[in-house]
Structure 1
Amino acid sequence: MNLFLNCFSSFACLLFLTHFANSNQISNSSGYCCTHHSGRKIRSVVPLDCQLGQWAQWTVCSPCEMRKFRYRNLNRPAMYGGSLCIGSLWQEDSCETSEQCIPEDNCGDQFQCSSGRCIKRHLLCNGERDCADFSDEETCESDYPNERRTFCSNLFEIPGIEAIMTGYNNLISDVGRTVLDTGFGGYCEYVYNGDWRELRYDSECEHLYYNDDEKYFRKPYNLLTYRFEAIADSGFTIDVHDNVYELATAMRSSDSFEFGVGVKVSVVKAAIAFGEYSTFIRNVTKFQGKDVSFVRVRTKIQTAHFKMRRYNLLLDEDMTESLMKLPDEYNYGMYAKFIADYGTHYYASGTLGGVYEFILVLNKKILAESDVTASEAGFCVAGSLGVVVSKGPMDVGGSIKGKICKSNLDHKEPSETSSSLVEDVLPHVLGGDLKSSAGLLGHGIPDVKMYRHWGKSLKYLPAVIDFELMPIYDLVARSNLPNVEIKQQNLKRAWEEYVAEFNPCRCPVCYNNGKAILMDNICTCVCLPGYEGKACQDTKRKGPTNGNWSCWSGWSSCQNGSKQRTRSCNHPPPKDGGATCLGKNAQSKHC
């Protein structure tokens, strides 16, 4: 499986956070990768190839699935332009065994679905899908209709409900498989949709009509609360950034996150569309070191707020089946594969809606010779969408000056004989009808038609834009599954190892305040302006170097009911008056 590896919730968070490692991780010292010719000046760095560990032993052949499994670790990411790893970290194959398959029955007096899920018997023959394969309705003689049930059965599901029931991998900022069931658990609960009768998705206040069929939506059992809301930001925000590093910093999306010892809640303000993360990073970082400016034009629309139940959560049937296949005897590879499939976290609460954003890449040389500033270019984009920006150097409320905007901002494909002020337009859209608009969004500056089409589609296709996360192992503990204590403990242990194995603190030092990225099993340094080289080692500038944390050490042995681990501010250490590391250098937990 190809893993996109990075830090936590966004590109810029990835640039700033370095935590967690185990005792088997690579050294934090830079001595093994760099060549020094004189003094403390670093002349070159030596590329290091990606290395995968040896395959672990195959697991025992499962008599029910006739499958076996093995894994290997990421011993070392590729560094400083070294060769990439070939092959996956997990491998599965068919097998044969003489052992008989004996399905487990943990349901007691409850009904067991064909997948193994347990449901209460009062849910049988209620006309609803309480088992994924409808096995709970197979032997029914009638539908047992009643007025309350008929009312709920005719209601639509809440728009975007599938999105909030999925897992979330905070290491790669992407969604996993479905972890929570979207069913109703035999209850007839619904939410009123009146707040959406006048959805304002842009500053023109276009009215969106809803018919009576969309007045109420049925609420799934796992949702504690769901409130429709339509709140658009006050116009577009426009920001100018002179380099990749500044842009990445501005796009930091994680307000608070810590992969700590206890249960930590992650509050995330999403900025990068699911499934587009690695592509976006490649599109942005290809401009590193080039003489360009970035203009970020952005708006966000909130359409609903949600909160999950805290206890007795009903897991998705496929996830339940995958979980029950995990052995009670700890096997990191199998549990890590489960985390890779379903995510490191699940949504505890959050906001649905959409984010509409474009990043203009402007040629600084041509910009200096033109009649438009970088800020004015951003106002031109907002004007092309038919919106009014609250404050700016010119009127962009629909009367854009053709000389300033049209002639300067026409995006042309670069050629050997000509160049354009706008070198690229990077779309960044979350929520809405992405399939139909994806082609349009890839061709130059957007227009009013594109923006309105996207806004209208939000009512049916919202995305999760702000959210609170809880660890996936905590979801298992809060579920209604019986006899999963051992699996939950194993999952928590594997979760800590998984986070440690794929953490950017494993990368070697990036000098001169460069920041490390670990993605696709590759370590990359993002340099500040004026610094170049694979490790940001080439510069004529002089200045302080801020300290950065090493990876965490392994946990000590248990003594007096407690064990500890430490980290050091030496990756690199502060130098020439640079700032020291923030946070604690030691942690302890009960044992």
Structure 2
Amino acid sequence: MKTAAVFVTFGFLSNVAFVLGNIRMRTVREVEGPAEINCKMSPWSEWTACDPCQKKQFRSRRIENFGQFNGLVCNQPLGDRRSCKNEIDCPKEETPPCSSTEFQCESGECIKKRLVCNGDNDCGDFSDEDVCDEEPRRPCGKNDLELSEMARGAGHGINMLGSDPRENAFNNEFYNGVCNYVRDPKTLEKLRYPWNVMTLTYEANVHETYSKEVYEHSSMMLKEILDETTFSLNAELSFKFSATEQTPGKNNSTKLGLGYKYNKAITTLTSESLSKDKSFMRVKGQIQVGTFRMRSRNPVMKDTFREDVFYLPLEYTKGEYFRFLEDYGTHYAISGKEGGEYELIYVLNKEVMKRKSLTTKDVQHCITPSVSFDSADKATDTHAELKADYCKKDNEKIGGMADDGALIHEVVASIRGGLPETIAALKTKIENTGVMDVDTYVKWAKTLGNAPLLIHSQPEGIENLIPLTMANAEAKKENLRRALQEYIAEYSVCKCQPCKNGGTVMMVNGECICLCPAQFKGWACEQLKDPMLTHYERTAVQEGNWGCWTSWSTCTEGRRSRTRSCNTNGLSGGTCKGSTADSDYC
């Protein structure tokens, strides 16, 4: 389901056959195909001075061009660090002593005395509860309320290029002595939510959306899938689903999210073996179980977030700031919707459809149930009676995937949200049989309240979470704003060569890929799918690819400018749509 431009649409869990972003296995070169282009990096910069706090030196490099036409991809970090020694002391962040109305935690943090001995871990190290001789005065009285799982993950980071941030900046286990709670409408259980969450709502009636669409060409489907994830700030087709800037001492793996979805989807939909006599059906559904909105004034951040901000170099260092963005996100979700979603991509055999006299309508009706799920944990196939006889046409088991004569060539399945065991069961059922049955679906949907995931969000810049009370807060905020602009520019599709015959170029995980029009194929869309279609070759529009913008000029009379050029390498008579110049106030 498409959303307004300021919202981010999330998706798609699947196991990766091979991952775009790792060095590809070499395949047989196309006859008369374009020459491979390998990833090209700039030389490393000089090492910085020794940082007095981290006792590290840093250097960085940039991407000059991405891998393309089956060349080696750019999947290496752009920042590097090494240990060093100096005699300069790290300036400590000065914190005022606790006042007479405050309690000092073992960590040195100050909290209100009213929070001591209330049963909550307000210090984060239980030192506010270890001093108690009497029974704690609990904010929720005798009720020991569980933390809402939806609230626990609220405010999670978002990366506008598509990867899954490794950390949540918010301390969502701090309650500030308040007993805020909401009832789960299904169980009527009271669930507590933290101080950082201003509002939390569970849906009394589950909000579900469902759609099926058939595409004749894989490039049309892939472009639509990727368009749905594009940030309003990232209008071009540039995506980075795998983090490359590693953080020592942290878990550098990300959750099973966008990267898993798109690596497998792109692998499948761009495969040369699927470029002929195949059509594609996309089935997607979404269940929304609740919404949240974060507190914008004085949120409480995790100690690890504050520590990571403190150790950011005051002098801008690209690699370190890129690493921070990949840890916490370029943005965070100031509000959002949580629940679960599934998305299925069916690769269909056109010859089988023709031989069995199956229409697109037949396939849409029979491959998956039109499931309706309600708040009572019940689900029904709304077309079950109609389909009982309708789907037995020609005694064809439409979901069959047993041999080359089967209708379904392959299914790429993704399920997000819910407990891992129910995800695995539903995914296995679909990929083995091509069918999503009601019982397995219900078992998965029942667990969404216990393990929801962010499915839509309203983003806010991650730099806005830096507390103003921190030393050098404004300087580091400005550095993060600069890092965001450079991060977008570094992974821009402007570093790709154009595609031929009207193909659309996109950048995914350090590799430039051409989405070809229906009549063409090949790494650069240079080949006709059918020799009988030569008139398309004569009439195809050759579209160039815009090169990268130059740096902004100096500010003159309140204005600055920059330019770009149209890259038509390998094309005959190609042009670019748009302007070669841009200007802005300064």
Q: Provide the TM-score with structure 2 as the length reference.
A: 0.77
State the SS of the aligned residue for 2:279. strand
State whether residues 387 and 397 of structure 1, in contact with CA within 8 Å, keep that contact through their aligned partners in structure 2.
no
Letter paired with 1:407: K
State whether residues 174 and 277 of structure 1, in contact with CA within 8 Å, keep that contact through their aligned partners in structure 2.
no
Q: Mean alpha-carbon deviation: is it higher for 85-94 or for 73-82? A: 85-94
Query: What is the rounded CA distance, in whole Å, between the counterparts of 2:75 and 2:224 in structure 1?
Result: 34
State the SS of the aligned residue for 2:500. coil
Matching of residues 186-205 of structure 1 within 5 Å: 186-193=176-183, 196-197=185-186
CA RMSD between the two structures: 3.8
Query: What is the rounded CA distance, in whole Å, between the counterparts of 1:235 and 1:66 in structure 2?
Result: 52
Q: Is structure 2 residue 68 aligned with structure 1 residue 79?
A: yes
Give the drift of 1:389: 5.1
Go from structure 1 to structure 2 and tell me whether the alpha carbon gap of 1:397 and 1:534 turns closer, same or farther (over 3 Å shift).
closer
2:136 match: 145
Picking from 545, 553, 578, the partner of 1:556 is 553
1:470 match: 460
Give the drift of 1:575: 10
Go from structure 1 to structure 2 and tell me whether the alpha carbon gap of 1:65 and 1:128 turns closer, same or farther (over 3 Å shift).
farther
Matching of residues 392-431 of structure 1 within 5 Å: 396=386, 401-403=391-393, 407-412=397-402, 418-431=404-417
2:193 match: 219
Give the drift of 1:439: 5.3
Picking from 282, 293, 296, the partner of 2:267 is 282
Query: What is the rounded CA distance, in whole Å, between the counterparts of 1:396 and 1:131 in structure 2?
Result: 60
Query: What is the rounded CA distance, in whole Å, between the counterparts of 2:334 and 2:209 in structure 1?
Result: 29
1:258 match: 233
Go from structure 1 to structure 2 and tell me whether the alpha carbon gap of 1:579 and 1:72 turns closer, same or farther (over 3 Å shift).
closer
Q: Is structure 2 residue 333 aligned with structure 1 residue 347?
A: yes
Q: Is structure 2 residue 582 aligned with structure 1 residue 586?
A: yes
Letter paired with 2:332: Y
Matching of residues 531-542 of structure 1 within 5 Å: 531-539=520-528, 540=534, 541=536, 542=539
State whether residues 9 and 457 of structure 2, in contact with CA within 8 Å, keep that contact through their aligned partners in structure 1.
no
Give the drift of 1:537: 2.8
Give the drift of 1:571: 6.7
State whether residues 188 and 218 of structure 1, in contact with CA within 8 Å, keep that contact through their aligned partners in structure 2.
no
Query: What is the rounded CA distance, in whole Å, between the counterparts of 2:120 and 2:181 in structure 1?
Result: 19
Give the drift of 1:150: 3.3
Give the drift of 1:432: 1.4
Matching of residues 296-445 of structure 1 within 5 Å: 296-383=282-369, 387-388=380-381, 396=386, 401-403=391-393, 407-412=397-402, 418-438=404-424, 440-442=426-428, 443-445=432-434
1:565 match: 562
Write the deviation string for residues 13-40 of structure 1: whole angstroms up to 9, x where unpaired.
xxxxxxxxxxxxxxxxxxxxxxxxxxxx
Query: What is the rounded CA distance, in whole Å, between the counterparts of 2:401 and 2:9 in structure 1?
Result: 28
State whether residues 98 and 104 of structure 2, in contact with CA within 8 Å, keep that contact through their aligned partners in structure 1.
no
Go from structure 1 to structure 2 and tell me whether the alpha carbon gap of 1:306 and 1:481 turns closer, same or farther (over 3 Å shift).
farther
Q: Mean alpha-carbon deviation: is it higher for 497-506 or for 62-71? A: 62-71
State the SS of the aligned residue for 2:166. strand
Query: What is the rounded CA distance, in whole Å, between the counterparts of 1:100 and 1:507 in structure 2?
Result: 45
Query: What is the rounded CA distance, in whole Å, between the counterparts of 2:39 and 2:571 in structure 1?
Result: 29
Give the drift of 1:90: 3.1
Query: What is the rounded CA distance, in whole Å, between the counterparts of 1:162 and 1:192 in structure 2?
Result: 13
2:164 match: 174
Write the deviation string for residues 253-308 of structure 1: whole angstroms up to 9, x where unpaired.
25860259xxxxxxxxxx97564332332233226523211112222111111112
Write the deviation string for residues 420-472 of structure 1: whole angstroms up to 9, x where unpaired.
22111111212112444325514232322321111111111111111111222
1:24 match: none
Letter paired with 1:379: H
Letter paired with 1:191: Y
State whether residues 463 and 481 of structure 2, in contact with CA within 8 Å, keep that contact through their aligned partners in structure 1.
yes
State the SS of the aligned residue for 2:423. helix
Give the drift of 1:546: 5.6
Write the deviation string for residues 521-571 of structure 1: whole angstroms up to 9, x where unpaired.
211111111112322233431233567654333212122344333456767
Query: What is the rounded CA distance, in whole Å, between the counterparts of 2:209 and 2:337 in structure 1?
Result: 19
Query: What is the rounded CA distance, in whole Å, between the counterparts of 2:200 and 2:568 in structure 1?
Result: 45
Letter paired with 1:91: D
2:122 match: 130
Picking from 145, 153, 170, the partner of 1:163 is 153
Give the drift of 1:399: 5.9
Query: What is the rounded CA distance, in whole Å, between the counterparts of 2:319 and 2:353 in structure 1?
Result: 53
Query: What is the rounded CA distance, in whole Å, between the counterparts of 1:11 and 1:235 in structure 2?
Result: 14
Letter paired with 1:514: G
| Structure 1 unaligned residues grouped into runs of 5+ | 1-7, 13-42, 198-209, 261-270
2:511 match: 522
Query: What is the rounded CA distance, in whole Å, between the counterparts of 2:127 and 2:570 in structure 1?
Result: 62
Query: What is the rounded CA distance, in whole Å, between the counterparts of 1:142 and 1:57 in structure 2?
Result: 59
Picking from 411, 434, 440, the partner of 1:450 is 440
Q: Provide the TM-score with structure 1 as the length reference.
A: 0.76
Query: What is the rounded CA distance, in whole Å, between the counterparts of 1:66 and 1:379 in structure 2?
Result: 63
State whether residues 399 and 433 of structure 2, in contact with CA within 8 Å, keep that contact through their aligned partners in structure 1.
no
Query: What is the rounded CA distance, in whole Å, between the counterparts of 2:506 and 2:10 in structure 1?
Result: 9
Letter paired with 1:586: D
Q: Mean alpha-carbon deviation: is it higher for 122-131 or for 366-375? A: 122-131
Query: What is the rounded CA distance, in whole Å, between the counterparts of 2:192 and 2:503 in structure 1?
Result: 50
Query: What is the rounded CA distance, in whole Å, between the counterparts of 1:373 and 1:284 in structure 2?
Result: 22
Query: What is the rounded CA distance, in whole Å, between the counterparts of 2:176 and 2:423 in structure 1?
Result: 38
Matching of residues 263-274 of structure 1 within 5 Å: 273=258
Letter paired with 1:278: N
Q: Mean alpha-carbon deviation: is it higher for 376-385 or for 418-427? A: 376-385
Query: What is the rounded CA distance, in whole Å, between the counterparts of 2:34 and 2:174 in structure 1?
Result: 58
Query: What is the rounded CA distance, in whole Å, between the counterparts of 1:528 and 1:112 in structure 2?
Result: 66
Give the drift of 1:348: 1.6
Query: What is the rounded CA distance, in whole Å, between the counterparts of 2:309 and 2:177 in structure 1?
Result: 26
Query: What is the rounded CA distance, in whole Å, between the counterparts of 2:121 and 2:395 in structure 1?
Result: 55
Picking from 31, 45, 52, the partner of 2:41 is 52
Sequence identity (%): 29
State the SS of the aligned residue for 2:282. strand
State whether residues 77 and 507 of structure 1, in contact with CA within 8 Å, keep that contact through their aligned partners in structure 2.
yes
State whether residues 346 and 411 of structure 2, in contact with CA within 8 Å, keep that contact through their aligned partners in structure 1.
yes
